Amino acid sequence: MTNHPSGRLEIYGNTKTFNFPEKVVSNVLRSPYFRSLYEYKTFNQVVDEIYTQVTYLEPWVAGKGIGTPSTAFCLLYKLFTLRLSVKQIRVLLRHKDSPYIRALGFLYLRFGANPRELWSWFEPYLEDDEPIVLKYNSPPTTIGKFVRDLLTKPKFFDVVLPRIPVVVQREVERQLNERFPPPQQVGSDKKRWKEEEEENNKAKVKRFKQSAKEPHDNDKREATVSSSEQSLSPPPPQQQQTTTKKANPNKLESHLYLQDLKQRYGDTSGRLDVSYATQVDSEPQSSSNSQLPTAVKSYLQQTFF
């Protein structure tokens, strides 16, 4: 922490404008309200004025746009003209009567302190939950959120803040991320985990349905083996019986009757056997056991009668 021999905090950077943008300085110096503050010569007088007059922190008067500096920024610039000591800055940061007194102390450090010393000043207040209104007629935030934004954002509303060196900025952001993980990252991780879980569940359901519809490999192999065994094995006895040609009892009896006729009539030419063998299968046999095929009857009539 860089201190003046008199105990004042040494202003880092431009000691004439206190690192405010030119448009802020010119508008503050022309402001009638700021001119009315010339009569305040002491630190306590300015602190009392902050307590009674400041109700929001945005740089410009609400409803008038850029050009008319707010009460808060006029009093902030007034504090710089007093060249505050380290002790006085601590009084501002720890003040219990108004969050705006505290907030102007943090803005004083952000514009005027060495960027490398900001973390040591701000770190004890990163989780401070005291409410404070930044923009007129808007919902409040907290001192802790306000302090974190001063460390990480390049602007306060439209007012450019003094640049923090890249190395210092990276270290500040690293320490902030360790204590306050970015909400976007936490949200995206939860969403990604949920999507992965849903995909895994869908895959499990799909595999279950496939396994229910299709037989397992062992069942397939058993089915293949059983089918091949069935194709190679001989048909069962019942099938053999159905495929074997049944003997016709009428045909057998008619054959015996033929033999008896041949002996009775003394036929030795063999023509009756040939006629019987070629035509007996083509004609349906009667249920009678004593009838011969028609061709045999005709032959006997022609030969012997």
Detail the DSSP E strand segments found in the chain: 131-132, 141-142, 155-156, 159-160
Say yes or no to pLDDT of 11 above 70: yes
Q: What is the pLDDT of residue 197?
A: 76
In percent, the amount of the chain with pLDDT more than 90 equals 53
Q: Give the chain's domain count.
A: 2
- With respect to residue 3, please indicate whether it lies within any of the assigned structural domains: no
Per residue in 149-177, pLDDT tens? Answer: 999 999 999 999 999 999 999 999 999 99
Strand-pairing partners, residue 69, are 60
Range of the domain at 279: 249-304
Q: What is the pLDDT of residue 261?
A: 65
Say yes or no to pLDDT of 91 above 80: yes
Q: 264 and 173, same structural domain? A: no
- With respect to residue 6, please indicate whether it lies within any of the assigned structural domains: no
Q: Exposed/middle/buried for 105, CB within 10 Å: 0-12, 13-18, 19+?
A: buried
Q: 27 and 165, same structural domain? A: yes
- Name the residue among 85, 102, 112 with its Cα closest to residue 47: 102
The sign of the torsion formed by the CA atoms of 97, 86, 180, 145 equals: positive
Q: Average pLDDT in the 186-205 region?
A: 72
**Distance from C-alpha of 162 to C-alpha of 151, rounded to nearest angstrom:** 11
- With respect to residue 16, please indicate whether it lies within any of the assigned structural domains: no
8 Å CB contact between 2 and 12: yes
Looking at residue 269, what DSSP letter applies? S
- Which residues in 274-296 are b (16+ Cβ under 10 Å) and which e? ebbeeebeeeebeeeeeebbebb
Q: 179 and 38, same structural domain? A: yes
- With respect to residue 279, please indicate whether it lies within any of the assigned structural domains: yes
- Name the residue among 238, 303, 294 with its Cα closest to residue 269: 303
Q: Exposed/middle/buried for 254, CB within 10 Å: 0-12, 13-18, 19+?
A: buried
| Listed residues 138, 161, 184: the one ending a domain | 184
Q: 151 and 277, same structural domain? A: no
Q: 297 and 171, same structural domain? A: no
pLDDT band at residue 238 using 50, 70 and 90 as cut-offs: low
- Which residues in 179-206 are b (16+ Cβ under 10 Å) and which e? eeeeeeeeeeeeeeeeeeeeeeeeeeee
Q: 59 and 168, same structural domain? A: yes
Q: Average pLDDT in the 235-262 region?
A: 56
**Distance from C-alpha of 161 to C-alpha of 21, rounded to nearest angstrom:** 8
Q: 264 and 179, same structural domain? A: no
| Listed residues 137, 167, 184: the one ending a domain | 184
